A and B are shown apart, each in its own frame.
Chain A
Amino acid sequence: MANNQYSIFLATRIVHDQEPITYRLLSRELKVHTALAKRYLYAFHTSSRSLYPDKVHATYLISGQKRPTPAISGDVLMSDVSSPPSTLPDTDVTLDDEIVQRIFQLVPEEELEDAKSAFRKIDYVHVYSLEPTRLHEDFITLAECGRRVRDTDLDEDPEAISKTYGTILEPAAKRQSGQPGQFASARPTRPATNVQTKSKAPLPKPEVKQEQALPAKQRPVSEASTIPSTFALGAKNTSKNHRGRPTTTEDERSRDNIKKEIKKSESRDKKSASPFTKSVSAGSAIKRERTQKKSGTSTPQSSSQVSQELQSMFSSSEDENEDKDDEKPIKSENETPKDVFGAIHDSFISDDIDLSIDRTPAKLEEEVKSEDVEMEPAPLLEEAGTELVEQSPQKRPHGRGRRKITKEIHTKDANGFLTTKYEDVWESYSELSDEETISASRPASTHSSAPLKKGSTGTGTPKEKDVAVKKDNGAKKKQTGGGQSSLMSFWKK
């Protein structure tokens, strides 16, 4: 390893990216022994005084033994240090043997000397972490480093970890090789749905409907080429991915991880693709920590560009996995309802028009079930209203989910009558707003649907009424599939 590589690394991460770096994280990133990493931190901190004055703050760890404490119990009696120990006869503790007490204490650099003087015997002092500004009292920002280290170590061989980083080796420790990577690819909270596993096995594409595919939709083939390049931008200078195992250098690593990155949760995606969020101030770094912890949901700060990339990503993978008839473009909540309708409308136009009236009920039901666009007669004019019915929230491991929604669409047919139809479309949504949307949409839907149905059936001719009712039935069937949706909630999170 080049001698100054660590200082470049530390300068990038601490001064530029405003992140805290612990010795453990540094050792994992550079693949060096933790003791060497501690020295790296020290050397960088020393040199930073001239290079980046006031930009690097150090936290030290002191190990040793404190001055005689009157009693073992730390917190309460610590304040009594001044009083002579004899006032606290603790016969139980000091019965027949002296209890050795060691202490490991983290101290900010400002308090290092004070803290040292409180020790009776100092075993070691080393730089624990470097950070752009003094850490909060509870050092919570360092916890993120620990998490990343754990994720790095997750799939490594215990022996290799011990050799490289100096971790104590337990000869008996043997990880079952059962499903390596099972937990690396998906967050344990959101078990990989069968959808995700399916994505690995290429599914036959629904052929007929491909003509309907809208321009917005991206085929996965093109996807593979576009996405990595967009991510490479951000990944290069950040390489923050937790799970990726470092290879040799930082850059190689990030390149290696680009592909993995795609499958990972959005929070991580966002992170690595985040030239946008990168230049935030030190203060907001903490904030970022927090938002990340919110179960990897997307944050409002994510720029539209990122979300679009993500979206196209999801759309590709999901289209691949979804049942054959799902060829709708994926709608995000960024798109206005108008866009959605426009798209649907387009698809209608491209359809052949006159299927509607003399279908058999069975056929109809089948069509409705098949939750596709093309089954419906293409209306000429579109008029109003949607109805959102949450069908099956399926959470993805990447922080965004898709759910099927039933839309109620009112159109005026060729004869000038209003017809109502229900369609199922897949909509991509953010898990962050999951709870709210569900709670919000439910009452709204039940409220609005009844009058609308009435209106539509009232104006229709008997024949059409019939059809509309049948469709209603079909749609209701779909809705009573609510039992299913609750089953699906098993996979939630």
Chain B
Amino acid sequence: MNTMSPVASSSTLDSNYLLSDPREDESFPTFERPASSRALISKYNNEFLLKNTEKTYEQQYASLYFLRLTVLKPRVSKIAAEAWNGMSILNQRVKAVDRVLDVRQGEFCWIVGTVYMEMTLKPNILDEITKEFWTTAPISKDKFADPHSDSIMLEDESGRVNLVGSTIKSELLVTGCVVAVLGSETTSGDFDVVDIRYPQLAPQLPRPVSTGHERRSVALVSGLEVSGDVHESYETSMLFEYLMGELGGSDDSKHASEIIHVIVAGNSFANNRSSPISRDEENGDSSQKKKKKYGYDSSSYNSKPTEALDSMLADLSNSVCVDIMPGDQDPTNYSFPQQPINPALVPRTRRFLGSSFRSVSNPCWWDVEGLRILGTGGQTIDDIFKYVEGDDRLKMMEYSLRWQHCAPTAPDTLWSYPFRDYDPFILHETPHLFFAGNQPEFKTKIIEGDDGQRVRLVALPKFSETGQLVLVDVDSLACEVVTFASGATAQD
């Protein structure tokens, strides 16, 4: 790919080669990205896409939990049976009990069910109804967790049992994950937990053996928060220049040319609204005031963020394949799964649809040269964060994979569409790369599963705050951070 002329190549080694007088006869290298496959895994992604004709909101959310348990119960039962069958505690053989209500006092047994966290700080729709606050904004407490008052329950189609014991208290659990617990019922009717099992990592497809000829990487960035106004951070411009290979010297360009895919993971637009509900309220008011206002009106709609992003993405799409995924601030539905941002919002970039630009759902699955990627805009992890103590985002991501569910807290606290026929968030496969966008800081690690699964977890920082782009090598899963600094950050 490298068409470097001998004249240039001799000088590119020098870091100051661009600080010399120009010579007209000199030719500079141009780079081309390696051809590669960047498919979306439609088997999974199709479940995230809601078709307008099928969208109804009349059904109950309970079916989602039922479907989840139906799928995950056999999986976790298998793990639990391997671990606990044949085991005896206090000379008593452990046995499996199919329904949580069939547990008898004093018998050691294991049960499978969906965790439900009873938390006083958690927003509860029933409370809100009793207060007759029908349209309060979602309570934006950082954490729901309160170890003193929280209780953990396990429920299945038959009923619910309260889980107690020090084991369970120390575990990372959130509403909606399906687990197996071993223990016995106490006199008070609680279930004293001795041990706990998760579904663990789902099977993983083998990664194709690296051919080793050239490096290829996937670029991940989230939280661009393009505002289009005067005080737009200049790092965003530098990022796009880098991705197009114009920033820096020839090795920088070469390095950038190894990026075969760019994923913009959520919150590409600047946030200038408080919450979706208060926005609805505003709309309700204004529609009463000016009833005859059709279309949008410039006082309530700001087109600058979309214009600015559009022009940058259109420029970038010339040079690299870009996928844009919505986040919680982006102009699409708020509830999970978020539908792709309508390409009509980016009219210039839209012209690359079908070649180097795609608008994808959140969450989304990719297959980039055999590297299976699962990514979210970060809401799932942010929501899990509220249930647990501490701020270990990677652990939350890891557990999400171990629960085989990428959005366990939907539909309890993470708003979600009430699916009737399937739970699209169940993981039937473990990705090689799992990222969550819009996290407070960059973190990464590799976790390994019992069956040799290897997953690179990446907590993507918000670009608008850190100026960081994350590159993940397609073949080695090696991670690299590219930071863009200007202005204030350069003053450190």
Contacts and interface: CB of A to CB of B under 8 A. Distances in A.
B87 interface: no
Contacts of B444: 92-93, 99
B482 interface: yes
A161 B316 CA distance: 12
A35 B461 CA distance: 31
Given A162-B319, A166-B253, A188 B30 contact: no
Given A42-B20, A175-B352, A101 B483 contact: yes
A54 interface: no
Contacts of B21: 39, 42-43, 46
A151 B24 CA distance: 27
Interface residues of A, number: 94
B32 A162 contact: yes
Contact of B466 (A75, A104, A127): A75
B483 to A, nearest CB: 4
Contact of B18 (A92, A125, A138): A125
B353 A126 contact: no
Contact of B443 (A35, A92, A146, A293): A92
B302 to A, nearest CB: 10
Interface in B470-485: 478-485
A143 B234 contact: yes
Nearest to B469: A102
Interface string B18-30: 1111101011111
Contacts of A149: 315
A171 B32 contact: yes
A138 B488 contact: yes
Contact of B318 (A3, A61, A170, A176): A170
Contact of A489 (B26, B295, B491): B295
Interface stretch (B169-177, B235-243, B409-417): B235-243
A162 B29 CA distance: 10
A168 interface: yes
A39 B315 contact: no
Given A176-B351, A189-B303, A100 B480 contact: yes
A79 B307 CA distance: 36
A491 to B, nearest CB: 8
Contacts of A124: 15-18, 248-249, 251-252
A36 B21 CA distance: 9
A70 B481 CA distance: 14
B422 to A, nearest CB: 33
Centre residue among A35, A100, A105, A188 by max chain B CB count within 10 A: A35
Interface in B266-323: 290, 292-299, 303, 307, 310-312, 314-315, 317-321
A153 interface: yes
A79 B442 contact: no
A477 B69 CA distance: 65
B18 A106 contact: no
Contacts of A38: 18
A476 interface: no
Given A104-B238, A105-B490, A158-B318, A169 B30 contact: yes
A40 interface: yes
Nearest to A483: B292
B467 A74 contact: yes
Contact of A168 (B22, B238, B245): B245
A169 B33 contact: yes
Nearest to B243: A168
B18 A74 contact: no
A123 B481 contact: no
A43 to B, nearest CB: 5
B375 to A, nearest CB: 19
A492 B293 CA distance: 11
B479 A166 contact: no
Centre residue among B18, B245, B394 by max chain A CB count within 10 A: B18
B413 to A, nearest CB: 25
Nearest to B482: A102
A150 interface: yes
Given A24-B246, A124-B249, A170-B320, A72 B481 contact: yes
B15 A122 contact: yes
A489 to B, nearest CB: 6
A176 B352 contact: yes
A201 interface: no
Interface in B199-244: 229-234, 237-238, 241-242, 244
Interface string B441-461: 111111000000000000001
Contacts of A102: 255, 480-483
B354 interface: yes
Interface residues of B, number: 101
B24 A3 contact: yes
Nearest to B256: A168
Interface of B is mostly: loop
A167 B318 CA distance: 9
Interface string A101-119: 1111111000100010000
Contacts of B28: 33-36, 166
A316 B43 CA distance: 58
Contacts of A171: 32-33, 35
Nearest to A165: B246
B35 A75 contact: no
A21 to B, nearest CB: 15
A466 to B, nearest CB: 32
Nearest to A27: B246
A487 interface: yes
B467 A486 contact: no
Nearest to A490: B295
Given A96-B446, A166-B246, A78 B356 contact: no
Given A126-B249, A169-B32, A188-B310, A36 B22 contact: yes
A173 B18 contact: no
B92 interface: no
Interface in A479-493: 482-483, 486-487, 489-493
B30 A166 contact: yes
Interface in A351-386: none
B223 to A, nearest CB: 14
B487 interface: yes
A174 B356 contact: yes
A367 B296 CA distance: 33
Nearest to B30: A166
A173 B356 contact: yes
A301 to B, nearest CB: 18
A150 B317 CA distance: 12
Given A123-B248, A188-B310, A154 B348 contact: yes
A38 B20 CA distance: 9
Contacts of B307: 188-189
Given A170-B320, A188-B307, A72 B441 contact: yes
A170 B487 contact: no
Given A124-B15, A174-B356, 20 more contacts: A43-B22, A74-B492, A97-B478, A100-B478, A102-B480, A104-B482, A126-B18, A136-B487, A142-B237, A154-B315, A166-B28, A166-B30, A166-B31, A168-B30, A168-B319, A174-B352, A176-B352, A290-B230, A486-B293, A489-B293
* CB-based closest 6 A-B pairs: A490-B295, A124-B249, A168-B245, A126-B18, A73-B441, A173-B356
Interface of A: 1, 3, 6, 23-24, 33-36, 38-40, 42-43, 46, 61, 63-64, 72-75, 78-79, 81, 92-93, 95-97, 99-107, 111, 115, 122-127, 136-140, 142-143, 146-147, 149-151, 153-154, 158, 161-163, 165-176, 178, 183, 188-189, 289-290, 293, 435, 482-483, 486-487, 489-493
21 contacts: A33-B28, A34-B28, A35-B8, A79-B492, A92-B392, A93-B445, A104-B252, A106-B238, A106-B486, A123-B15, A136-B487, A138-B231, A158-B318, A161-B319, A162-B32, A170-B319, A171-B32, A171-B35, A173-B321, A486-B290, A492-B295
